[in-house]
Structure 1
Amino acid sequence: MRRLLISAAAIGLFALPAVAEDYGVLMKTLSNPFWGAMELGVREGAAAVGVNVFVQAVESDQAAEPQLNACNAMLEQPMDAFITAAINSTILLPCLKRANEMGIPVVDLDGNLDHAIAAEAGVEIAFSIGSDNQAAGAQGAEWLVSRLGADATGPVLVIEGLAGNITGQKRATGFAERLQELAPGLEIVASLPGDWDRGKAANITNDILTANPDLVAIFCANDGMALGAVETVFAAGLQDQVTVIGVDGNSDAVKSIMEGRLDASVAQLPYLVGKQAVEMAQMVKAGETVEKFVFVPTLVLTKDVLDAGTEPMLAFVK
């Protein structure tokens, strides 16, 4: 009697389950609600597309050298893609070059890397994803002018991010350039680095208010610094005179806006950035073509917008 030999693969028996890919995700710090929301998006995006993620972060968004050390340590474990939010545009480049040499595609999370500088260092970036930071700054200026009027005059303070950080630079530049276009009578009397630090922003605000008691507005490159500025403005009893705008739209900012303290925040929708970063990294791994720069929309949050609750993008404010 002849035996009929049929392979297990032919009839689908004993098929091994597909092995899920592993993505490394290196963020700045999870102590900031902005990055907490982005981590949530990363994890939910990973669950949606069926990949594993292991997330690392450092103590603060000023800890550049510790972040480089964390980056190198992460490469000691196998990964199929590396999603990184660099503290500045150069600190991670040696590590990311090593990742490329290992055949690992690199994703720039939140647009913290300069593609030209990276290329000079031998780093290929699969794509950058985040908000258009310059446009976000400009959006803050547009909202301020809509509130104060194109004929408004008076001194304005800009509190930048960490010196050398491309994200903060673009937000501050976008705000300053658009403000000059729309309301040249609103003069920026100081533009100073607050290093993403709430306490430092509060101190800067105090110093500038002392020198410019007629200050009419403060634009901060993130919400943490904006909340520090708000504390100083309220302590001085100038909340009806000084309009304060932040950027990020994090949970602390939303609470402050609802309490009638912070006037506005240009929401960067970090949850959506994190979720789409993982989804698009999988597209890269599958050989699909993605744009080199992917911009997630921004939204100006005010008490009126939050009270109305009708804006569809509010679903992504976490």
Structure 2
Amino acid sequence: MTAFTVRTAAAACVAAGFGFAASAQDTIRVGITQNNVGVDSYQTTYEQAFIEAAEADPAVEAVVLDAGGDVARQIGQMRDLIQQDVDVIVIWPTNGQAVVPVVRQAHQAGIPVVVTNSQIAEAGFDFIASFSGPNNITQGQYSAQMMCEALNGEGQIVQISGQPGYTTAIERQKGFEDELAASCPGVEILETQPGDWNREKSQRVMENFLTKYDDIDGVYSGDDNMGVGALNAAKAAGRDGIAFIGATNFAVGYEAMGRGEYWGSVYQSPVEDAKNALATAKAVAQGEDVPFLNYFDTPKITQSNMDEFSKPVF
């Protein structure tokens, strides 16, 4: 496995609450295993920001790992970090259900675990110290509200979801579908297919939708990377008048919004995501009180208010 180790000067730290104790001379050793850095620019930017934040903190030593989207590899990385006896583990789950047993192993070893970005299954909640990241249910709800507004409460749409089994994908889809049914029953979801967070696959999915359905008024995608793939398919097919709504506002989504081709999204910073995760892990290791659900803000962004936001760096 590939690892980047960030080492800094020694600083005092005290940890409590998960059977962990460190001497005052030790740094806080933070191990992180990520989902799949190479799959999109959000995760690449997140990793860079996490490393930079750790390098800037003299109290932190970080071991940075990437599972490459492989559940078995991530489980192995978790076990390796447990063997290294790090002070706290941050995990960006490849699969929220499959990682629960190894998260429990870390808990039993006295190592607190912080889940970042995408929550693990509820069965693992007793074994984690905190979740740091966006509220993905709320993001789905925001996207449904924007879709309802874009279509004036009526129409037929298709949905491109994220990676199957991945908590973020599940939660954004649930938030979107529940809010749409409650607030906008005049909008019908014709079909949902996964785009796996991949722009090219999402473009192919949209091509199939366009062949299958003569009337598509809107597209909801679990992130803007997939949303722009769908937009590209519609443009190539000459299908105009479709409202595209996404989440995790990528630079390509922001640019398409500026051209008037993309209706709205949810603004989410990978830099803030990474910094929040490291700060949460450090606080947990030092025995501080941390909210179990340590969310950071992810507001709606549309063509009408995009000037209030900086263009994403990913």
Given the two structures, how large is their TM-score scaled by the length of structure 2?
Answer: 0.83
Whether the aligned pair in 2 keeps the contact of 1:71 and 1:92 (CA below 8 Å) is no
Question: Is 1:26 the equivalent of 2:27?
Answer: no
Contact 1:22 1:52 in 2 (8 A): yes
Equivalence for 2:269: 269
The residue number in structure 2 matching 1:55 is 64
Q: Corresponding residue for 2:138?
A: 135
Secondary structure of the residue that 2:26 maps to in structure 1? Answer: coil
SS in 1 for 2:274: helix
Which residue is 1:216 aligned to? 217
Residues 239-271 of structure 1: per-residue CA shift (max 9 Å, x gap): x31111221123343344345444332123232
Report how far residue 112 of structure 1 moved. 2.2
The reply on whether 1:145 has 2:154 as its aligned counterpart is no
Q: How many residues align?
A: 290
Q: CA RMSD in A?
A: 2.5
**Residues 131, 298 of structure 1: 8 Å contact kept:** yes
* Shift, 1:147, TM fit: 2.4
Cα deviation per residue 1:94-122 (whole Å; 9 max; x = unaligned)? 332232233211001113212x3115xxx
In the TM superposition, what is the alpha-carbon distance from 1:82 to its structure 2 partner? 0.3
Instruction: Tell me the residue number matched to 2:283.
Output: 283
Q: Is residue 42 of structure 1 aligned with residue 43 of structure 2?
A: no
C-alpha distance in structure 1 between counterparts of 2:263 and 2:197, whole Å: 19
Contact map agreement 2:95 2:167 (CA 8 A) in 1: yes
Question: Aligned partners of 1:281, 1:70: CA distance in 2, in Å?
Answer: 18
Going from structure 1 to structure 2, the CA distance change for 1:205 and 1:101 (only over 3 Å counts) comes to: same
Equivalent residues in 2 for 1:302-313 (5 A)?
A: 302-306=302-306, 308=307, 310-311=308-309
| 1:57-96 matched pairs, under 5 angstroms | 57-59=66-68, 61=69, 63-96=70-103
What SS class does the counterpart of residue 203 from structure 1 fall into?
helix
**Preserved CA contact (<8 Å) 1:271 1:317:** no
Note the alpha carbon deviations across 1:61-105, whole angstroms, 9 max, x for none.
Answer: 4x2223223333343434111000101112222332232233211
Kindly indicate whether the alpha-carbon contact (under 8 Å) linking 1:127 and 1:292 is maintained by their aligned counterparts in 2: yes
Whole-angstrom distance in 2 between the partners of 1:113 and 1:66? 17
Q: 43-52 vs 191-200, which deviates more?
A: 43-52
Give the counterpart letter for 2:165 in structure 1: G
- Give unmatched runs, 5+ long, in structure 1: 1-16
Where does structure 2 lack aligned partners over 5 or more consecutive residues?
1-23
Structure-1 residue corresponding to 2:294: 294
Residue 120 of structure 2 is matched in structure 1 by: 113
- Residue of structure 2 equivalent to 1:171: 172
What SS is found at the alignment partner of 1:247?
A: coil
Classify 1:104/1:141 alpha carbon distance in 2 versus 1 (closer, same or farther; 3 Å).
same
Q: Distance in 1 between matches of 2:102 and 2:206?
A: 37
CA distance in 1, matches of 2:258, 2:48: 23
- Residue 160 of structure 2 is matched in structure 1 by 159
1:49 to 1:317, Cα distance in 2 relative to 1, 3 A: farther
Q: Which amino acid aligns with 1:197?
A: N
TM-score by length of 1: 0.82
Query: Secondary structure at the residue paired with 1:195?
Result: coil
3-state secondary structure, aligned to 1:97: helix
Asked if the contact 1:159/1:193 (under 8 Å) is kept, the reply is: yes
How has the CA–CA distance of structure 1 residues 213 and 49 changed in structure 2, closer, same or farther, with 3 Å as cutoff? farther
Code of the residue aligned with 1:209 in structure 2: it is: L
Kept after mapping to 2: 8 A contact 1:45/1:276: no
Where 1:248 maps in the other structure, the secondary structure is coil
For 2:290 and 2:118, locate their aligned partners in 1 and report how far apart those are by CA, in whole Å.
15
Alignment of 1:1-20 (within 5 A): 18-20=25-27
State the structure with more CA Rg: 1
Contact 1:33 1:252 in 2 (8 A): no
Partner of 2:196: 195
Alpha-carbon separation, structure 2, partners of 1:183 and 1:247? 19
CA distance in 2, matches of 1:104, 1:196: 31
Percentage of pairs with the same residue = 25
CA distance in 2 between counterparts of 1:205 and 1:101 reads 46
Contact residue 251 and residue 312 of structure 2 kept, 8 A: no
